[in-house]
Amino acid sequence: MGSTYIKRSLEPILGKAASEFPAVLLTGPRQSGKTTLLQHLFGKRYHYVSLEPPDVRTSALGDPRSFLEMYPPPVIFDEVQYAPDLLPYIKERIDADRHKSGRFLLTGSQNLLLMEKVTESLAGRAAILRLLPLSRREAEGRPRISLPWESKRPAVRRTQAGRLYPEKHLAYRDLWTGFLRGGYPELAAHPGRDMNLWHGSYIQTYLERDVRTLRQVGDLSQFQDFLRTLAARSAQLLNLTDVARDLGVAVNTIKAWLSVLEATYQVIVLRPYFANVGKRLVKTPKVYFTDVGTLCYLAGLKDPEHAAYGPMGGAIMETAVLSEIVKTLTHRGTDPQVYFWRTTAGTEVDFVVETGGNLVPIEVKLSATPRPAMSSAIKIFQKDFGDKALPGYVVHPGDIMLPISAGVTALPFSEL
């Protein structure tokens, strides 16, 4: 583990939470690195118990008080979603000595029933943090680097023509190969690992272990069709009625399935930004996969050329940008406020990030040659929102960083 450990942005926040709360719950998708992170930071001082093996689970549920006697704090209980009925007894233990912090570290890869139980039993006693797959910052060993609109980063050099070139440049092919692999730590730590095999077995394990246990899903093969249908509609306005009709299931079933995907951190449901600007706005959400590698796998893409130049190119690029923003903010222990903006007239800004009461408009383009025309939607947004709108960005896959109009900068993905 030591040699391939990848430093995570969440480390300082996790340490702080453990020093202030009796319990910490670390949630996130399966394989996002929760266990590795806890063992790296706390492994020397804490007992470690996985609740996944059936015999351990049976023991925990059969006689919870004796189980907690056998594994006294400080303790890491991994995969606590398998034994949520243990939580009221953990609460009992915490309440017997409220002043001790960091006694119980819990992980869970499922949000629905687990969060219900946690808020019921551990309200006020547990800090809840989320760990998603690796951001590009973490994968590159720069976990603390800020987002472009947060500070003036000295990462560019100016050429004679006045263009700005980033210090950190990813070759176009490498960029798209990275999108295909995605951000799961195991694939990042083992570059030789076959990504298609890995993603295939990940989806299978996810379906068998996480989805099967949730009451909303009966037919797993139909649910798998639903995953592929969502992948094909990624980054588009999501009409649930159309999806239901295509799959031959009820709209309520599609809603339930979507909530399962959101609760298990497989997708990000992006909602439109509303403010009373007097324009008629679109109310339908968009859906993106949390990991761009999952999207590419479900779309059947295996090589960088097909990903970059095929019909999914734009959706992949948008997914990569959203994923980077969401992971970066989430791994600081905050809840990302990211939306899209679209008027019924068809003007659209891909992403709007709310930060300190202001709004950062972001457009994503597939062309590596930024042009002033690409900033037109951002200019309309800035005009509508006045002082609330901050300078905007057009994120692209190339290496050129330059102002393309007043208040809009072309930004390489590698500089995001």
pLDDT at 272 exceeding the cut of 80: yes
Q: What's the mean pLDDT in 108-130?
A: 83
209: DSSP letter: I
φ, ψ dihedrals at 65, nearest 5°: -65, -45
What per-residue confidence (pLDDT) applies to 3? 55
What per-residue confidence (pLDDT) applies to 209? 77
Query: pTM here?
Result: 0.92
Per-residue model confidence as pLDDT tens digits over 122-145: 888 999 999 999 999 999 999 999
pLDDT at 164 exceeding the cut of 60: no
Q: How far is Cα 62 from Cα 125, in angstroms, rounded to an integer?
A: 24
For the chain, the structural domain boundaries read 11-130, 136-415
What per-residue confidence (pLDDT) applies to 210? 77
More confident residue, 99 or 200: 200
What per-residue confidence (pLDDT) applies to 154? 46
- Nearest CA among 65, 14, 56 for reference residue 35: 14
pLDDT at 153 exceeding the cut of 70: no
Asked if residue 354 lies in contact with residue 339, where contact means CB atoms within 8 angstroms, the answer is: yes
3-state secondary structure of 393: strand
Q: What's the mean pLDDT in 175-183?
A: 96
What per-residue confidence (pLDDT) applies to 155? 45
Q: How far is Cα 71 from Cα 353, in angstroms, rounded to an integer?
A: 44
Q: How far is Cα 190 from Cα 133, in angstroms, rounded to an integer?
A: 15
What per-residue confidence (pLDDT) applies to 350? 97
Which residue carries 């295909």 as its tokens? 180
pLDDT at 320 exceeding the cut of 60: yes
CATH of domain 11-130: 3.40.50.300
Q: What's the mean pLDDT in 32-55?
A: 95
pLDDT at 104 exceeding the cut of 90: yes
pLDDT at 160 exceeding the cut of 80: no
Q: How many CA atoms lie within 13 A of 395 on its CB side?
A: 26
Q: Which two tokens stand for residue 88?
A: 């009221």
Least confident of 37-51, 151-165, 174-188, 394-408: 151-165
What per-residue confidence (pLDDT) applies to 345? 85
